[in-house]
Chains A and B, each alone.
Chain A
Amino acid sequence: MLGFLGPNGAGKTTAMRTVFGLVNPDRGTVTWNGREIGPEERMRFGYMPESRGLYPKMKVADQLTYFGRLHGMDSREAAKAANELLNRLGLADRALDQTEKLSHGNQQRVQLAAALVNEPELLVLDEPFSGLDPIGVSTLAEVLAERAERGAAVIFSSHQLDLVEDLCEDVVIIRQGQVVQTGAVEKIKDASPVRHLEIELADGLAPGLDGLEEFVSAREGNRIYLQVPADLDVRPLMSGALATGSVRRFVYTTPSLSEIFLQAVK
């Protein structure tokens, strides 16, 4: 699962559209398994565009069956896949309703189902989480994880970076059409030149910071936050804190994806 990140206007939607031939790239080609993508490949892809689009008057199940058939399934296969998806997404009782009668969140689930109905080997989702409530987000996340588990490649863009951090193994960060960061989430985080440090001791005690004062970013009661260079050896600090005999908290971490993102697109 790949998180596709970038500030507004960076070119995420445009890049995703080139996969489906909706926009022709000025330069370069889009390939899948080493081959340039054509209509045949696209039959095995699934796409959820940023601007949601469904036929408002069509019945939910008919709509999904239709999209399945457009992806080369025969009518029985498509109907079966549509039914299974509606069950999975908790919409089985709405199958015969017109799409426009559904709530916004439910329509979004149908939109997702439309992208999933042909069991795609590549799933491209543009902002799939925007506008969903926490339950919707977790259902969608589960479904995507399932598909990834079953071997599908999933690419999605999102501004909810915590979610991306939880879900994705890899991320790409772009800015003004250029890739500025790419790789496994953990590796990118490890490669960051900074680390976060949080120390909290019992009341009335303070750790000996020994010349690290310049790295302190905030203080909150007994808690001290520091942002230190990645190559700083924190062991002396840790043993110093332990020596006081009352460490309540000692956290040493890489920065969050949000911070890396902000740093990367600055």
Chain B
Amino acid sequence: MTNLWLVTRRELRERGRSKGFIISSVLTVAILLGIILIPQALGGDAATFEIGAVGEGNEQIVEAARQFEAGLAADEETEPDIFEVTEFSTAQEGEDFLRRGDIEVLLIDGSSAVIAQQGFGGNELVERLQRAAGASRLQALMAENEQVASEVVEVLSNDPLEVRSLSGPGSDNAESSVIAYAGLVLLYIAILTYGNTVLTGVTEEKNNRVVEVLLATLQPWQMLGGKVLGIGILGLAQFALTMAAAFAAIRITGAVSLPAFDLETVGVLVLWFLIGFAIYAALYAAAGSLTSRTEDAQSAALPMTMLAVVGFFVSFSVLDDPASLVARITTFIPFTAAFVVPIRNSLGAISWAEHALAVVVAVGAIVLLVLLAARIYAGGLLRFGGRVRIKEAWRTGD
């Protein structure tokens, strides 16, 4: 135990004060703050849309769009976007302006719209005008009854259906999936980053041959365990620092309105970070012990990286449907659980029993994997030269 702690302590001290670690910590926090703060600084000002018009019947559409925007801006307490209209006598003239980029959309006779290029994901202005055009048609149809007509736009500017989720409050807003999504991305980056640190750390010790001196007094499991623990603690510290900075920035600026500081979500993220890291770190350490050169390490670790990538993509489908069969199955596969469970949790789509069972399965898998990895590690460490075959390492690892 003393030795395990000594190895852990060395990792903490040497890595914790290395330039690489300090720089990467500062960078991660800076990038995340940038992502949160820059749109905040740039946004806030109202956008101005330039619209061209030819013929009759365009004014009503733009007017309806203005009304929609006014309602929306009042709800969100922001400045309403501005719609500016330029009249053209011929469509030809308007198209020239469109081509030069002076206007974004050209409305013709209140019945068609011309844009310069069809972009990916559609055109926001066109969508707004589309909705406004619908409203102004209805308005015209109901012109006989003036009271109804004036209410049409108001009715259409709100979502008439109230949406409620069976899984309870807090899970029916987009914000929890934002947290789930952000947590997922961070988890994925953290597991891959620190898993790779373990990988290269092991290979480096083998590469500079310090293993032989170490193994004279240390057991392979102490070396493996200490390294994984040390890097894990540092990783968690960096992860926590980043999360804390992000939460603080969000709360101060109100960039995304958070449901009151949610300790449970964060606690679950941290728990699954630890589980995910332990699983992948054990595998990475075993892979690292099979190679003596840093160049070979990445290829030895490729299967692990692929597993993580698969887990990451599976969790996107879980984000769409957190109660699907895929979501339920991958909850109990240790390699994907770390990505899937936190999402299901923050979307409120996992029961306590299911969650607890997933933790038990994953922790059981960790024990098995560490034993397995320790044996491969023991067998791989003192074989220098090219790649060691797993079978060979397994045989001599006893």
A residues whose Cβ falls under 8 Å from a Cβ of B: 17, 20-23, 39, 42-43, 45, 47-49, 51-58, 62, 66-67, 69-72, 114-115
A20 touches B209 (CB 8 A): no
Q: Is B208 a contact partner of A54 (Cβ separation < 8 A)?
A: yes
Q: How far is the CB of B398 from chain A (nearest CB, A)?
A: 8
Q: Tell me the B8-23 residues at the A interface (CB within 8 Å).
A: 10, 13-14, 18
Complex Cα distance A49/B46, Å? Answer: 71
Evaluate contact between A55 and B216: CB separation under 8 angstroms.
no
Give the docked Cα–Cα distance between A114 and B208 (Å).
Answer: 15
- 23 A-B pairs with CB atoms under 8 Å apart are A21-B215, A22-B212, A22-B382, A23-B382, A49-B212, A51-B384, A52-B209, A53-B208, A53-B211, A53-B213, A53-B214, A54-B210, A55-B208, A58-B14, A62-B13, A66-B6, A66-B10, A69-B6, A70-B3, A70-B214, A70-B218, A72-B2, A115-B213
CA distance A114 to B18 in the complex (A): 23
Query: What residues on B are CB-neighbors of A54 within 8 Å?
Result: 208, 210, 213
Q: Whole-angstrom distance between the alpha carbons of A17 and B216 in the complex?
A: 8
A69 to chain B: which residues have CB within 8 Å? 6
In angstroms, Cα B209 to Cα A51, docked, is: 6
The interface residues of chain B lying within 8 Å CB-to-CB of A22 are: 212, 215-216, 382
Instruction: Identify the 8 closest CB pairs spanning chains A and B, nearest first.
Output: A53-B209, A53-B210, A20-B216, A49-B212, A51-B209, A47-B216, A70-B217, A53-B213
Complex alpha-carbon distance, A58 and B3, angstroms = 18
User: Which interface residue of B208, B211, B214 has the most chain A CB atoms within 10 A?
Assistant: B208
Contacts of B10 in A (CB 8 A): 66
User: Complex Cα distance A95/B2, Å?
Assistant: 25
B6 contacts A39, C-beta separation under 8 Å: no
Docked pose: A196 CA to B384 CA in angstroms: 45
Residues of B near A53 (CB, < 8 A) are 205, 208-214
Given contacts A22-B382, A56-B208, A66-B6, contact A49 B213 (CB under 8 A): yes
| Closest chain A residue, CB of each to CB of B396 | A24
Does the CB pair A51–B212 fall under 8 Å? yes
Kindly state the separation between the CA atoms of A116 and B14 in the bound complex, as whole angstroms. Answer: 23
Per-residue interface assignment for chain B, residues 194 to 216, with 1 indicating a CB less than 8 Å from any chain A CB and 0 otherwise: 00000000000100111111111
